[in-house]
Structure 1
Amino acid sequence: MSVPIPSRVHYHKSARELELGYPNGDSYRLSIEYLRVFSPSAEVRGHGPDTAVLQVGKKDVGLANITQAGRYALKLSFDDGHDSGLFSWDYLYALATNAEINWADYLKRLEAAGESREPKTIQFKEL
């Protein structure tokens, strides 16, 4: 089964959400924080489940840039400087359709680690 490719990608800057619209009418709005903590990069995921790095303090992260990578992915550049990892259409669709389960698991892992979504320092963003 082929995963659908979005026909519309829109960044809602004030809400810090990326909207993915599909040809069948389905639409998903994913928070930038969610995308950042589930980045497919080795920096976040490690080289296996045992080496994944729990992302903390990302509540206020936004996007600095979005570019298409060929015909198969988006490259999201986050305003905290993270810009490695390509979000394939398959991976974005999986994130969208499993968002509730993924987010609940992330919050449990944060709590178990005694960590928070809140940034530990004051974040300054370029205007």
Structure 2
Amino acid sequence: MLRIGENRANSSWASVARHANAVEHLAEDLRRVIDGRSLPQLDTNHTPVVEQWFIEKFIVPTLVGFITYPGDSGEHHGQRSSMSFTAPLHLFSLQQGIARSSQRWYRVGHPSPVAEDSLRRWSVDGEF
């Protein structure tokens, strides 16, 4: 959440610009999905994969799991032994194994044992 015009803890203008760019990229990606009536083919060399995933309800849906970034040893994004979570999700396809957060695309790997229940909580009709 960006904060502007408060006595303390305001976001920097650089933070506002980064957020605007991220949202702009999200909008562009969603427009491509609509225009092409299909989801993109993700480059496995540049798209992180989330293993043992499930969707958590903080206030918005987020993807939780072991996130592996291509070419990254894990030093900067957490080790395999600790779970992490994405920015809020805006698009999710179990069938094609991809998700789009407000920040980037993710490939969806193996689900966790609670994934089915987590999807049910966020589905329109309550079904998996």
Place the TM-score, normalised by the shorter chain, in its bin. under 0.3
TM-score, length-normalised on structure 2? 0.27
TM-score, length-normalised on structure 1? 0.27
Task: Say which one has the larger Rg.
Answer: 2
